[in-house]
Structure 1
């Protein structure tokens, strides 16, 4: 039975039994506490917890999931995968234990010819929570199993809760017995790989608090509305039904494994280590494909870092199979073909996915060889020194300079028989993050614990009136201060205001929130932020400027008209620039992210090379021509399928509901799905001035533009600058470039002459320095400070010149200087000095330690540095003492 068939049978079975079929949510979770959708129930959490009223009494889905907490186990066990699909059925206060158990048993044991999975009951086992007598009785009645086939287990395995106060309840699990050849008898309680868990049923029936651990909490009471959350592992059922040994050999994964075998010339099944590597490749390629199809791009942070780690582990595994060249074109195509039947979007979005994958592969292959060489040298030095742990700063260098995820360094070090000083690495990473945070803008605020919004959301969705109205009268449904619900907020307090209606736009779709006020009888609030903490609910963070606002009072939202005008110009300008990019570069230049606010827009798009000045100008000209043509901007709502049939562009990685808003600019010239605010005609945008174009990843570029009045101000400032330069240089504007070029050429020529004079003056110091050589131990030593120099290269050249003047003598030249406010040390040794035991690398390290830094190098020439300029005399004394012993 093919995986796609197993998936469809699930949906058909539950749809026929009154369940609403819910499409898989994105792998990018809406939950701010999660990087990814890690379980099938995640999209339903707001309904299961009562935060948002459930739109249906029962539902079913096949949810895409990503988990990487067990990434080291991938390929080693039959069931660990980073990407997996969870088949789920859910009841929101509808049926409970009896219904969930009966439905599960029916689907599993109904013959394949009748739409079921056709499992033999003799191959199935059941576990229940040890105190859940109700579930045990139902299972016994439904299945006819004897008591020993229904095993009771403890809270650590058969009790579910979130780890926080809230809903909880016992679990029941269904296992498949693979047979005696896979392990010991005794059922799931043996915790043996012989018994594969295929289905977990959660009976959400209690409210708990005082949660101290997985097994230590207080049950407060039974929930008034009990919920069901079940999950069947699609890949686990697939490898059982397809008669293979593990999930990597099922029809959706095996083609990638086979392609990796063909590319490497290795045979799957011939060598255990090679088999693990092929399974890692098959898993990681599929996971990466699905992540990128949901809009994740490789980066150094968050979700992008996880994706980058998967891609680079894949490259590493292929290298261990003996393949040093690129392979992603073949591997990803194999995964696309295996997955497109279940997920057609991977085929539709594949050109962009392939571009991202190949760009990342090219980038990492360029750095992998250099990084591996550095690691090999460090490993050899570590072993030579008799240590078993690789230095943390080496791991940090590989991460920071060569893009090695720390996990990759750990793996490669382990292969060489070494550990890594993870503590030192983490300290360096923490210091780097602290610096980054100091440079970054802090977030404007942190929303309250989401559970406090449940009562407000239960009153209905917040109605947004801002498409047509800048002022809307409403009612205060709730106030939150410091995350707690309060009846009133007074002058000087910052509060979250929940209203029934609002004209203020909440940040979403790349558009920054509106600015404005909330006013009423005797109070005025300045709006600081507008967000959607939970689906369908708008929260206004505002400062009470005067008076007192209370729950239940009438309040009016007032949008700052000038700011909104700028915001609409910027958002419509984003659509214009996107259309211009695609017109010039082609359909692969698809938007992958954006941000816009009054006067400014930023647009990220799939492309792997910088725009030439001519291309950038062409895009800017097309954009401004569209503005000049005063194109009509029309927004309308329609079903998603109808919008796609019209050719409306669903932006890569974005999430859309069943009903969407389509924004046309000039009809089909620009037609995108968008919930933002827009101008009425393109001429209202005013002007586009592209001010930046840069890389934001291996296959992503970013354009930045000023819009409207801000664009004009930039042009005006540039015009003033040109006027000032032409006046100062006494030339006409059209001759300015040539005039500046002449001046630059003259300056470079002058700098060359100065450098030549300085080099000669420096070289002239060599004879006098050589005359200062003093017999120290077995060598002649020149140990002098050069004062302040422009670069370390000057000191190095002078040290070599002095060593040359001392001819064949056993000589050591140790020079110090101040370069850029910091001390440096250069040591050069002659062959005779090295025969006498003098080592430039060791001496430079000795001097650098005194200077408060580090150093080293080859025995004949080495360099060090530090932070303490005042320690220069002590550093020279140190080398004198070292050689005088």
Structure 2
């Protein structure tokens, strides 16, 4: 049975039982605790936490949620059941059925015949575990289902008690296992061997509330929840492994084709060697995870989600290389996994080119990293041999791995080829410290979850009605007041307050557009609103200060938008859509939005693109944008279903979760069509001129364009024109000839600076002989420590130091030169061959000097450079070097 059919059967089973089907959320959710969605219940968390009431008619739901877990990424491929990306099929009950319902639903699907829509598993091969004292669940399994008592095992809190890892809902769980047979391990059920007995489904009986604590079993049970809920998770990949009768999850229909492709590209054979099998599995697993992350808008970077993606892609490249690949492989791997996953995720088809571009560009960059890392390794290896250690230090291996992205496997392989060992213990110790820091940070973030239960009453019963698309003011009723996390009945002058109204014309921040500014007027009061935010996508929170009078619950008020703010905000938001359309016209369909922010008169637009834009491309983008403004396109908004909007060609944002009904903003027909809930102008000409300020990099593979719109754009252009006119007047050059004139002056300036630098070098060279005479004895060494004239460059320091070292080559001499310029102190230490033989290390002396002049640096034993920030400490630094040498 193919995986996509397993998915279809699961959903059909629960829809037929009255559950509402809920599409998978994006892997990226706005949750401070999570990098990625890591469990099927995550999108339902507000309902389990009591922040919102479930919107499902029968109080039940079902979904197949895409998930990513990367905490134990190094274990991928070693165990044959672990994937970083997996599909969690689940059914959820919010105060409806409980243990018996969850158990009977699961048993019916697992053991039901194929003809009736079930999975057709043999009941005699199913085992279950329950929590230690959960007699109720054990009795249901035995009395209701008929499972023999000896196939029902009890485990403790660490195994059979579920929580989110933070204070909140929790409860015992019952896990269902499939016996794969004696060839996979010993008898005795899951307690005896969890490799033979594969867990396929976890039924969580969410009935209690837990307190604070760390770990799976180190927390207090505070008491029962008001309602008993059900949260289950079936591992789609594990069921596929069983139904397709393959050895492990890497050999199912979704991943095995990638392994086959890897065999072709590397020349190695899957199943021949254990070490190679791990690498094949890494390639298959990470290719799928990387593809799904890119699909949802993640791009490679140096932190957060981007770092995880980069690490996955680099592990693919590393594994392919170790299997024998000599060239690029990413395109073939990603193309293969897109082919296998598209039947379950049709949206992949429209993003193939973008996904490939992101993955292939990262491969090209990493192959260059491997090249530079190889050169660095050669230096490290040479130092190890010169020092006679025969070992590459753990710190060096860690630096290669962590700073330069050079995999430890390659370090080990190349060290062996060079006849060297690697201090693996030291490397692992540093890696462990890094992991501990990451886990501590993760735990700290978990406790940062914001408690929104204060607003639940209004979210559930009084969602705000937004009327601001059609009007800038409205009559409303005050439903709630909050100040500093406390509910109020009234607020008086000077009080910071959050006002909740039954309806409002003020726009709440969303989609990159900042919330409106405005006022709320009562009979005798005025509240100045400086921000509007949403809670639960339903409730508008008007944040402000009572300027005059007072406001109280039940007041009839008038909410008014600042018209100038809204007008300029509309201009910027509509301008953002035009910039996006122009970008795609110039750069192609792979330049898609990665974020935006717009406020009155200003917009910034982030997009996925691997290279800096050329001046010509920037000119094109600005020209196309302003041509659209001049065309006076009508701006239309259409409310329709998500499927219909996609059929129309409307663009959706990656990582966003849309409802059943969406709003499409169309500017100029096919020119721009996006899903957007923001406010916009009625005609494109109302945007006014758009002045593009420039573009820059904000992360690897992510660029940013910034621009002014409307009157702010006009003012910016007017200042630019005045500046150009002033330059033209000063240089007595027509404005249109300014670029050439400035280029000529720049070249003259560079030539003059170069001539001055040459003269300085000549003067320094002439003084070199005189400097030698300043050398003084420091124990058995000859020490020359002096400053050079201000303006001496770092490169000149090296030239002079090299010349002095050659002139003093017949002595055990140490040369220390500094060239202070203000508080900055570039400096260098050089040692002749005799001094180095006597134990002098220039790098150590540089570090010693750094303690006196607030500096740092490094280098080789014969020459090292540094820079300090405290010129006043130079005399003490010179004296310290002299004392250090005298003691040798």
* Same fold at TM > 0.5: yes
Structure 2 counterparts to residues 673-692 of structure 1, below 5 A: 673-692=675-694
Aligned to 1:441: none
Shift of 1:882: 5.0
Aligned to 1:443: none
Aligned to 1:36: 36
Distance in 1 between residues matched to 2:756 and 2:487, nearest whole Å: 72
**What is the SS of the residue equivalent to 1:114?**
coil
Aligned to 2:445: none
Question: Does 1:594 pair with 2:601?
Answer: no
Give the RMSD, CA atoms, in angstroms: 3.3
Structure 2: which 5+ runs fail to align?
416-420, 442-447
Shift of 1:266: 1.4
Distance in 2 between residues matched to 1:361 and 1:14, nearest whole Å: 42
Residue pair 1:399, 1:406 contacting (<8 A) in 2 also: no
**What is the SS of the residue equivalent to 1:185?**
coil
Aligned to 1:491: 493
Aligned to 2:444: none
- CA change 1:644–1:415 in 2 (3 A) is farther
Distance in 2 between residues matched to 1:826 and 1:530, nearest whole Å: 57
Distance in 1 between residues matched to 2:811 and 2:259, nearest whole Å: 65
Aligned to 2:426: 419
Distance in 2 between residues matched to 1:86 and 1:494, nearest whole Å: 44
The worse-fitting range, judged by mean Cα deviation, of 303-312 and 282-291 is 303-312
**What is the SS of the residue equivalent to 1:724?**
helix
Q: Deviations over 1:594-644 (max 9, x none)?
A: 221111111223333333222222221221121112111111101122222
Structure 2 counterparts to residues 20-99 of structure 1, below 5 A: 20-56=20-56, 57=58, 58-99=60-101
Aligned to 2:164: 162
**What is the SS of the residue equivalent to 2:576?**
helix
Aligned to 2:863: 861
Aligned to 2:532: 530
Shift of 1:63: 0.8
Residue pair 1:471, 1:556 contacting (<8 A) in 2 also: yes
Distance in 1 between residues matched to 2:849 and 2:432, nearest whole Å: 24
The worse-fitting range, judged by mean Cα deviation, of 736-745 and 63-72 is 736-745
Aligned to 1:353: 355
Shift of 1:65: 0.7
The worse-fitting range, judged by mean Cα deviation, of 352-361 and 869-878 is 869-878
- CA change 1:463–1:757 in 2 (3 A) is same
Structure 2 counterparts to residues 499-514 of structure 1, below 5 A: 499-514=501-516
Q: Deviations over 1:54-83 (max 9, x none)?
A: 222222111101111222221111221111
Question: Does 1:555 pair with 2:554?
Answer: no
Q: Deviations over 1:131-190 (max 9, x none)?
A: 222222211123322222112222332223334554333211111112223223222233
Residue pair 1:293, 1:653 contacting (<8 A) in 2 also: no
Distance in 2 between residues matched to 1:544 and 1:406, nearest whole Å: 61
Distance in 1 between residues matched to 2:31 and 2:230, nearest whole Å: 20
Residue pair 1:849, 1:866 contacting (<8 A) in 2 also: no
The worse-fitting range, judged by mean Cα deviation, of 336-345 and 171-180 is 171-180
Distance in 2 between residues matched to 1:428 and 1:818, nearest whole Å: 42
Aligned to 1:753: 755
**What is the SS of the residue equivalent to 2:604?**
strand
Shift of 1:874: 3.8
Distance in 2 between residues matched to 1:158 and 1:815, nearest whole Å: 68
Distance in 1 between residues matched to 2:62 and 2:566, nearest whole Å: 41
Residue pair 2:3, 2:254 contacting (<8 A) in 1 also: yes
Q: Deviations over 1:64-112 (max 9, x none)?
A: 0111122222111122111110111112222222222111111111122
Residue pair 1:448, 1:482 contacting (<8 A) in 2 also: no
Aligned to 2:5: 5
Residue pair 2:666, 2:674 contacting (<8 A) in 1 also: yes
Distance in 1 between residues matched to 2:128 and 2:711, nearest whole Å: 69
**What is the SS of the residue equivalent to 1:818?**
coil
Distance in 2 between residues matched to 1:366 and 1:212, nearest whole Å: 42
Distance in 2 between residues matched to 1:781 and 1:68, nearest whole Å: 56
**What is the SS of the residue equivalent to 1:171?**
strand
Distance in 2 between residues matched to 1:221 and 1:297, nearest whole Å: 43
Aligned to 2:121: 119
Give the TM-score taking structure 1 as reference length: 0.91
Aligned to 1:437: none
Aligned to 2:632: 630
Shift of 1:49: 3.6
Residue pair 2:302, 2:700 contacting (<8 A) in 1 also: no
Residue pair 1:523, 1:549 contacting (<8 A) in 2 also: yes
Aligned to 2:240: 238
Give the TM-score taking structure 2 as reference length: 0.90
Structure 2 counterparts to residues 796-815 of structure 1, below 5 A: 796-806=798-808, 811-815=813-817
Shift of 1:276: 1.2
- CA change 1:346–1:478 in 2 (3 A) is same
Distance in 2 between residues matched to 1:344 and 1:427, nearest whole Å: 37
Distance in 1 between residues matched to 2:608 and 2:816, nearest whole Å: 53
Distance in 2 between residues matched to 1:217 and 1:832, nearest whole Å: 66
Residue pair 2:180, 2:196 contacting (<8 A) in 1 also: yes
Residue pair 2:213, 2:219 contacting (<8 A) in 1 also: yes
- CA change 1:629–1:290 in 2 (3 A) is same
**What is the SS of the residue equivalent to 2:549?**
strand
Distance in 1 between residues matched to 2:729 and 2:504, nearest whole Å: 54
Aligned to 2:581: 579
Aligned to 2:878: 876
Aligned to 1:440: none
The worse-fitting range, judged by mean Cα deviation, of 747-756 and 777-786 is 777-786
Distance in 1 between residues matched to 2:837 and 2:408, nearest whole Å: 41
Residue pair 2:392, 2:423 contacting (<8 A) in 1 also: no
Q: Deviations over 1:277-327 (max 9, x none)?
A: 221121111011111111122222322222222222222323333435322
Aligned to 2:15: 15
Aligned to 1:142: 144
Distance in 2 between residues matched to 1:168 and 1:843, nearest whole Å: 60
**What is the SS of the residue equivalent to 1:113?**
coil
Residue pair 2:171, 2:206 contacting (<8 A) in 1 also: yes
Distance in 2 between residues matched to 1:618 and 1:806, nearest whole Å: 61
Q: Deviations over 1:509-559 (max 9, x none)?
A: 121111122222333222232222213222222222233333333333221
The worse-fitting range, judged by mean Cα deviation, of 157-166 and 39-48 is 157-166
**What is the SS of the residue equivalent to 1:283?**
helix
Q: 1:455 is matched with which residue: 457, 463, 466?
A: 457
Residue pair 2:200, 2:239 contacting (<8 A) in 1 also: yes
Distance in 1 between residues matched to 2:582 and 2:473, nearest whole Å: 34
**What is the SS of the residue equivalent to 1:299?**
coil
Q: 2:720 is matched with which residue: 718, 721, 738?
A: 718
Distance in 1 between residues matched to 2:380 and 2:809, nearest whole Å: 35
Residue pair 1:393, 1:425 contacting (<8 A) in 2 also: no
Structure 1: which 5+ runs fail to align?
434-445
Distance in 2 between residues matched to 1:671 and 1:844, nearest whole Å: 61
**What is the SS of the residue equivalent to 1:190?**
coil
Structure 2 counterparts to residues 632-671 of structure 1, below 5 A: 632-671=634-673
- CA change 1:769–1:224 in 2 (3 A) is closer
- CA change 1:155–1:490 in 2 (3 A) is farther
Distance in 1 between residues matched to 2:858 and 2:221, nearest whole Å: 64
Q: 1:283 is matched with which residue: 275, 282, 285?
A: 285
Shift of 1:561: 0.8
